[in-house]
Amino acid sequence: MALAIPQQVPWYLAPLRLLRGVFQVRRFPGVALIILVFLLVIPGLFAEWVAPHDPIKGSLGARLKPPMWEKGGSSTYPLGTDKVGRDVLSRIIYGARVSLRVSLEAIAVSGVIGITLGLLAGYFGGRIDAFIMRLVDISLGLPIILIALVFVAALGPSFATMNAVITVALWSRYARQVRGEVLSIKQRDFIARARVAGASHLRIMFRYLLPNVVNSLIVLATLQVGFVILLESSLSFLGAGIPRPTPAWGLMVADGRELIVTAWWIAMFPGLAIMLTVLSMNLVGDWLRDHLDPKLKNV
Amino acid sequence: MTRHIGDVVLEVEDLHTYFFTRLGVVKAVDGVSFSLRQGETLGIVGESGCGKTMTALSLLRLVPKPAARIVQGKILLQGENLLDKSENEMRQIRGSRISMILQDPQTSLNPVFTIGNQLIEALKTHNKHHARDLVQRAINALKQVRVAAPERRVEDYPHQMSGGMKQRVVGAIAISCEPHVIIADEPTTSLDVTIQAQYLRLLREIQEETGLSIIFITHDFGIVAKMCDRVMVMYAGRSIETGSVRDIFNHPSHPYTEALLNSVPKLEERTARLYSIDGQPPLLWNLPPGCRFAPRCPYTEARCETEYPPSFRVTEGHIADCWRLQSEWQTHHSSMSKT
Amino acid sequence: MQRYILIRFLQCLLALWVMSVIVFSLARMTGDPLDVLLPMEAGEGERERVAHHWGLDRPLYEQYFVFLGKALKGDFGNSWKWQGHTAMGLVIERLPATLELAGIAIVISVMLALPFGVLTAVWKDTFFDSLGKIVALLGQSLPSFWLGIVLMWIFAVHLGWLPTSGRGSWYHMILPAVCLGWFQVAAMMRLVRSSMLDVLDSEFVKLTRVKGLPEWKVVWKHCLRNAAIAPLTYFALTAGVLLTGSVVIESVFAWPGTGLLAVDAVRARDFQVVQAIVIVFSSVFLMANLLVDILYAYIDPRIRY
């Protein structure tokens, strides 16, 4: 692929070359992308226009209605309602927004931190490298769910806590990846030339090293989205994630669990949403990896 | 060197092995015929990619499935056609009647088992012996390939041995069940020169002791001169010249053989530039209809490019596939030189 | 080699220490512990007395060292939700249940992952392989809690074959163990498959076929021994992963182990118990990672000789 060989890529061209590579290929995960768009992107961005009902205010008269293809269901509430009378479909749509928001925020923050630290470690080497790598090792060695639980026990469940937890969990992967690649690119001639020409460290790192690393980072980020969504929903399920009454898929499954015998739809559909989203994301991520950077097979 | 050369033990007739791929049919072996007598060493010579190893694998019917298949030909081992055998029967034949030594000793042995274990496994597969007996037989096999202190070596792992010794172990495994034919696929290519000489001497000694036949695949004419009785030269999947070593070296009849022999630098001659053959071998999935060497041959005529030459007999036991050998052409040329 | 082990061990201790700091500071962040210990009406004098009794009037770092000292002895104080129990005591009481579940899960996942991994490699690009790929993909994408609920719904509610929750007979163990092991099966199967594919191409495998060995022996005796190295090291890592997974699964199936304990303690803001659990889990997790690194160093022959 065009970007597999590190070259002196001007920073503004890197994403364009990426796009060109993306559309050239076979086994394009079309179905997965469609699912993603309909399950994550559109609901996430346009929830207010897409959802038929209010996700938080329920109507007590319409409690525990089954999905529309069952007896007793109606097309007003296509996927049924929960025990407070809230439309399951609308909640799923709004829940997509939560998932989208958490993944983007968490990945953005942890990405920025991780990439920066990785660049520093790889570029400067020596003590800085050793120190940062220690941090990475420790961070990777800590069990995520426990940290999450501790944070939540201390600070209470909220968006901010969730983001903090996921960031702590994720940043080290980016750092490690970036550092590794920087170490291998660092020796190339064009870097030496830049240094001779008097480029500052900052300039070298961001104008020269970063564009060459972007590929693998994109793959990493895509594969992380699925992981983040799973983590967020697990935490929400345990009551340690997004607080009620905000609709989050994990929370909905938790709510539906008690009623699994009588009102199975409350837990089923949100879970299905999670699975399909993560699955599609993984498929897209795998495909991206195969076509952008096969070296990452073990990520 | 007195060796008793006996009857024909292996006969290959018009062997074709093709790879069926998305790009097309790759004709790795496209018409190879030869015979091997008991006690004889036949060398198969040719450049990389000409089909030598595929021929060897075809003899054992170990071509990489599902892509490759033997599509035509006969392989007669002591009169029996191996291509008619079932997989079970082939498995019994492999190792006990035909065996093979692979090229790279570093990777030929399983690193997690002792060499004793691997030797015994070979023995156990084809014979029923008692356990104690087996260890002794393994030690004997090691002795036969002149490995020092075999009793201790039996317990060693492959990475504890040098390349030369590993290749001897591979040899021991190959001869342990007393096969009639051994195929040696460039066994000395990864060994250094002094070890090479020792190994070749070893093979010859074993051959004299047991009377087995060897097919020796190589690209080194020096080895051919030392080891082989007869030679078969391959090019682009076909055998293009076969004969005794003396005949081939002194009277190479195919232009390719001639060119190959010229490419070997000689110490006595001083040249400014090493001779090499112009051009590249043809792509095996896009073969020309005529003689495959024609694009690179200094003697081509129109006929060479459209029709593939049949095998002409140069002398008794020496054949080559070249239109030049047809007497008509020779007179045609001599008449041309007159005018 | 020894130096390597020593360094890794020190890293573990460092990580554990960081955990203790995190846990301690977060505990203090939740608010003044005095509010937990005393009713709101308590007067100034009362507060001072209790503060002094609990050592809460000392500077923060001193309090931390007291905490650390006690932690090293295993003393995490008393649980405030489950009166009459010490925090550590509760953890120890519940640990066997979690270990039992994790053990079964490991057994199930290995028993499934190894043969399936081998077979998908041997029968590459067949229908079976595609099936395997689907299973692997699903394993990574399914949220474990949802899988638990779905399975519970099918097998316990509809078919009535298995109980929905709790611990008792071995029937109770099946669903939670399967859910717990599910992700491991997927990941390990992929690993085994890729290892096997590498090994199947090696030269020595060709030689075993030349020797005339039956194909099943080539695959199961020779290839597997070589291919098992990478998954083995991953397998040692699963201990830690399973521990984390147990938190969710135990909640779904109401399995009385340390995972469920953690969730309950968090809900009740019983920080003593949470601290104890976190430190214990972290230790196990870090030990598992350490073991993997050591194991890998042993198995990789470049380090051995």
Q: Cα–Cα distance between B284 and C141 in angstroms, integer?
A: 45
- The dihedrals phi and psi of C202, each to the nearest 5 degrees, come to -70, 165
Share of chain B above pLDDT 70, in %: 94
Look at chain C and count its residues: 305
The 10s digit of each residue's pLDDT in C75-87 is: 777 776 777 777 7
Work out the minimum CA distance from C206 to partner chain B, whole angstroms.
8
Chains that touch A (3 or more CB pairs under 8 A): C
What pLDDT shows up at residue C299? 59
Asked if the bond preceding B150 is cis, omega within 30° of 0, the reply is no
- Distance of alpha carbon C59 from its chain centroid, rounded? 36
The span from the CA of B126 to the CA of B98, in Å, is 12
pLDDT tens per residue, range A245-290: 788 888 888 888 888 778 888 888 888 888 888 888 888 887 777 7
User: Is B140 part of the contact surface with chain C (CB cutoff 8 Å)?
Assistant: no
Contact in structure between B215 and B44 (CB atoms under 8 Å): yes
Residue B7 per-residue DSSP state: S
Average pLDDT of the residues in A46-55:
76
Residues in C closer than 8 angstroms to B94, CB to CB, are 209-212
Chains touching chain B, criterion 3+ CB pairs below 8 Å = C
Contact C157 A261 (CB under 8 A): yes
In chain A, the largest separation of any two C-alpha atoms, in whole Å, equals 77
Token code pair at residue C191? 């690993």
What tokens does A289 get?
A: 């990896």
**Candidate from C23, C150, C263 with C-beta closest to A150:** C23
Average pLDDT rounded to a whole number, residues B243-262: 87
The pLDDT score that the predictor gives to residue C54 is 63
If we measure between CA atoms, which residue out of B32, B65, B26, B66 comes closest to residue B46?
A: B32
Above 80 in pLDDT, residue C4? Answer: no
Of C18-32, C108-122, C214-228, the range with the highest mean pLDDT is C108-122
**Tell me, what's the ipTM?**
0.76
Of residues B95, B107, B110, nearest to C222 (C-beta): B110
What pLDDT sits at residue C159? 75
Selected for mutation to probe chain A from C24, C141, C157 (highest A CB count within 10 Å) is C141
* pLDDT value, residue A28: 65
Å between C256 CA and nearest CA of chain B: 43
Question: How confident is the model at residue B137, as a pLDDT?
Answer: 84
Does C18 score more than 90 pLDDT? no
Q: Is B126 on the interface with C (CB under 8 A)?
A: yes
Instruction: Give yes or no for residue B218 having a pLDDT over 80.
Output: yes
Contact B102 C222 (CB under 8 A): no
pLDDT tens by residue, B127-163: 777 777 888 888 888 888 888 888 888 888 888 888 8
**A74-94: string of b/e by CB count within 10 Å (b at 16+)?**
eeebbbbbbbebbbbbbbbbb
Question: Inter-chain contact B160–C206, Cβ cutoff 8 Å?
Answer: no
Pairing between β-strand B213-218 and β-strand B68-77 as defined by DSSP bridges: unpaired
pLDDT at C103: 84
Q: What is the CA radius of gyration of chain A?
A: 22
Q: What is the DSSP code string of B172-222?
A: HHHHTT--SEEEEESTTTTS-HHHHHHHHHHHHHHHHHH--EEEEEES-HH
Q: How far apart are CA B77 and CA B99, in angstroms?
A: 12
Interchain proximity B91–C204, CB inside 8 Å:
no
CA dihedral A219, A222, A224, A229 (to 10 degrees): -170
How does pLDDT run across A102-137, given as a tens digit for each residue?
888 889 999 899 988 888 888 887 888 888 888 887
Between chain B and chain C, the number of residue pairs with CB atoms below 8 A apart is 61
Q: For the segment B167-197, what is each residue's pLDDT rounded down to a tens digit?
A: 889 988 888 888 899 999 988 888 888 888 8
In tens, the pLDDT along C263-279 reads: 888 777 777 787 788 88
Could C212 and B125 be called an inter-chain contact, meaning their C-beta atoms sit closer than 8 Å? yes
Q: Which residue of A has its CA nearest to C290?
A: A141
Q: Do C212 and B100 touch (CB under 8 A)?
A: no
Chosen from C11, C145, C287 to mutate, greatest number of chain A CBs within 10 A: C145
Look up residue C54 and give its two tokens.
């609990």
Per-residue pLDDT band at B335 (split at 50, 70, 90)? very low
Residue whose C-alpha is closest to residue B124's, from C220, C209, C212, C203: C212
Which pair of structure tokens corresponds to residue A221?
């980020």
- Res B160: pLDDT: 84
Does B273 reach chain C within 8 Å, measured CB to CB? no
For all residues of chain B together, what is the average pLDDT? 84
Q: Which of C20-29, C207-216, C261-270 has the highest mean pLDDT?
A: C207-216
Neighbours, chain C (3 or more CB pairs < 8 A): A, B
Q: How far apart are CA C240 and CA C231, in angstroms?
A: 15
Asked which of A135-139, A198-202, C294-298 is least confident by mean pLDDT, the reply is C294-298
The residue to which tokens 């060499």 are assigned: B115
Q: Contacts of residue C222 in chain B, CB cutoff 8 Å?
A: 110, 113
Q: How do strand B213-218 and strand B41-45 relate by DSSP bridges?
A: parallel
pLDDT at B338: 41
Give C98's contacts (C-beta < 8 A, 6+ positions apart): C243, C246, C250, C255, C257, C258, C259
**Amino acid at the residue B262:** N
- Does the pTM surpass 0.90? The reply is no
Q: Report the amino acid identity of residue C168.
A: G
Per-residue pLDDT band at A3 (split at 50, 70, 90): very low
- Interchain proximity A253–C145, CB inside 8 Å: yes
Per-residue pLDDT band at B36 (split at 50, 70, 90): very high
> What is the separation of C-alpha C117 from the centre of its chain, rounded to a whole number of angstroms?
22
Decide if pLDDT at A40 tops 70: yes
Greater confidence (C104 vs C47) lies with C104
The whole-chain average pLDDT of chain C stands at 78
Between C207, C214, C305, which is nearest B108 by CB? C207
Note the pLDDT of residue B158: 84
Instruction: Tell me: pLDDT of C38 over 90.
Output: no
Assess whether pLDDT exceeds 60 at residue A231.
yes
Amino acid, res. A35: I
User: Per-residue confidence at B333, pLDDT binned at 50, 70, 90?
Assistant: very low
CB within 8 A of C197, min separation 6: which ones? C121, C124
pLDDT winner (highest mean) among A155-159, A187-191, B193-197: B193-197
Return the minimum-mean-pLDDT range out of B291-300, C193-202, C226-235, C248-257.
C226-235
Give me the phi and psi of C216, to 5 degrees please: -65, -35
> What pLDDT was estimated at residue A141?
67
- Backbone φ and ψ for B217, nearest 5 degrees, come out as -95, 125
Return the percentage of chain C with pLDDT > 90, whole number: 0
**C-alpha B215: how far from its chain's center?**
5
Instruction: State residue C199's pLDDT score.
Output: 84
Residue type, B125: T
According to DSSP, the β-strands at B41-45 and B24-37 are unpaired
User: Quick one: which of A149, A172, A114, A138 has its CA closest to C285?
Assistant: A138
Searching chain A, which residue's CA lies closest to the CA of residue C230?
A298
Q: pLDDT at position C17, please?
A: 81
Whether A271 contacts A255, CB under 8 Å: no
- C131-146: average pLDDT: 84
Mapping DSSP onto H, E and C, the string for chain C reads: CHHHHHHHHHHHHHHHHHHHHHHHHHHHHCCCHHHHHCCCCCCHHHHHHHHHHHCCCCCHHHHHHHHHHHHHHCCCCECCCCCCCEHHHHHHHHHHHHHHHHHHHHHHHHHHHHHHHHHHHHCCCCHHHHHHHHHHHHHHHCCHHHHHHHHHHHHHHHCCCCCCCCCCCCHHHHHHHHHHHHHHHHHHHHHHHHHHHHHHCCHHHHHHHHHCCCHHHHHHHHHHHHHCHHHHHHHHHHHHHHHHHHHHHHHHHCCCCHHHHHHHHHHCCCHHHHHHHHHHHHHHHHHHHHHHHHHHHHHCHHHHC
Name the token pair of C267: 């809900």
Q: What does the block give as tokens for B335?
A: 């008449």
Task: Report the relative pairing of strands B230-235 and B238-244 from DSSP bridges.
Answer: antiparallel
Percent of chain A surpassing pLDDT 70: 88
Residue C305 pLDDT grade (very low, low, confident, very high; cuts 50, 70, 90) = very low
Q: How many CA atoms lie within 13 A of A182 on its CB side?
A: 26
The more confidently predicted of residues C239 and B339 is: C239
pLDDT confidence tier of residue A221, bands split at 50, 70 and 90: confident
pLDDT grade, residue C135 (50/70/90)? Answer: confident
Residues within 8 A of B (CB atoms), C 207-246 only: 207-214, 222, 225-226
Would you tell me how many other CB atoms lie within 10 Å of the CB of residue A198?
Answer: 7
Task: Determine which of B31-45, B219-233, C282-296 has the lowest per-residue pLDDT on average.
Answer: C282-296
Kindly write down the DSSP assignment for every residue of B283-326, as one continuous string: PTTS--SS-TTGGG-TT--HHHHHS---PEEEETTEEE--GGGS
The pLDDT of residue B216? 93
* Contact check, Cβ <8 Å, B92/C226: no
Residue found under tokens 């991780």: A114
Task: For residue A234, give the nearest of C143, C157, C243 by CB distance.
Answer: C143
Q: Which two tokens stand for residue C298?
A: 């042993």
Mean pLDDT of A81-87: 81
- The dihedral sign for the CA sequence B326, B332, B336, B339: positive
The full length of chain A comes to 299
* pLDDT value, residue B50: 82
Tens digit of each residue's pLDDT (9 = 90 or more) over A210-219: 777 887 788 8
- Element containing residue A290 per DSSP (H, E): helix A265-292
Q: Is the pLDDT of residue A23 over 50?
A: no
Can you tell me the mean pLDDT for C87-104? 84
